[in-house]
């Protein structure tokens, strides 16, 4: 049985673990560096990226996470998780792992009244994903090694903004696949692990 951890400092890690358990994997809450041992894949959940980053920093998780992911541990980051994986953030300074070569923009769609759900076309998936964007980030700049799997159109500039990317075994979404019954994105994580 595959062992999938979810960073359990804050956020909706239980929803992620419920999905991986439904897919037949073992779901493990990760709060300390020791909890990372023996994992086949890791999820960094939705939550508040400032809170997760700060707690990861004081409890000594940044370096162990960074080295495990760099060594090839497959990881899925959703919303706050995407921000935490990225190399930099537009406007804000906060603890980040810098393992995913993108610059993210936080709260890119606006405040909560601008949060929305929509059918999103994803590369390699014949049917769209019902994507839930909650005070969501998008990707402002992508590195050369990063594949864009889905994007939305910025209403102001007309430019395409990535909301689902992959860099080798790192997957990151602006939206929350853990809040719907569609398990395809979690299945993708299990496939690369």
Find the shortest distance in angstroms from Cβ 16 to another protein: 11
* CA 170 centroid distance within chain: 9
What is the smallest separation between the CB atom of 67 and another protein, expressed in angstroms? Answer: 22
Residue 178 annotated as catalytic: yes
Beta-sheet strand order (sheet of 147-153) = 26-30, 3-7, 41-44, 75-78, 170-173, 160-167, 147-153
With binding defined as CB under 8 A, does residue 147 bind another protein?
no
Active-site annotation holder among 15, 79, 105, 186: 79
The torsion angle over the Cα atoms of residues 153, 154, 160 and 164, rounded to 10 degrees, is -80
- Binding to another protein, residues 73-92 (CB under 8 A): 79-80, 92
Site for another protein in 3-32 (CB under 8 A): 8-15, 31
Task: Answer yes or no whether residue 149 interacts with another protein by CB under 8 A.
Answer: no
Structure tokens at 84: 């935490």
The question of whether 79 is a catalytic residue gets the answer yes
Residues with catalytic roles: 79, 176, 178
């Amino acid at each position: 049985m595959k062992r999938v951890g979810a960073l359990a400092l804050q956020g909706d890690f239980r929803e992620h673990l419920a999905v991986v358990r439904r897919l037949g994997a073992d779901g493990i809450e990760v709060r300390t560096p020791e909890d990372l041992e023996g994992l086949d894949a890791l999820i960094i959940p939705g939550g508040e990226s400032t809170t997760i980053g700060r707690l990861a920093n004081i409890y000594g998780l940044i370096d162990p996470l960074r080295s495990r992911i760099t060594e090839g541990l497959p990881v899925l980051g959703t919303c706050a998780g995407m921000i935490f994986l990225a190399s930099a953030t537009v406007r804000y300074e906060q603890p980040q792992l810098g393992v995913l070569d993108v610059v993210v923009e936080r709260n890119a769609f606006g405040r909560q009244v601008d949060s929305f759900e929509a059918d999103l076309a994803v590369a390699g998936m014949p049917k769209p994903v019902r994507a839930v964007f909650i005070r969501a980030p998008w990707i402002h700049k992508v590195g050369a090694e990063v594949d864009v799997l889905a994007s939305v159109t910025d209403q102001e500039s007309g430019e395409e903004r990535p909301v689902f990317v992959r860099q080798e075994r790192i997957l990151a979404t602006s939206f929350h696949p853990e809040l719907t019954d569609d398990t395809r994105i979690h299945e993708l994580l299990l496939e690369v692990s």
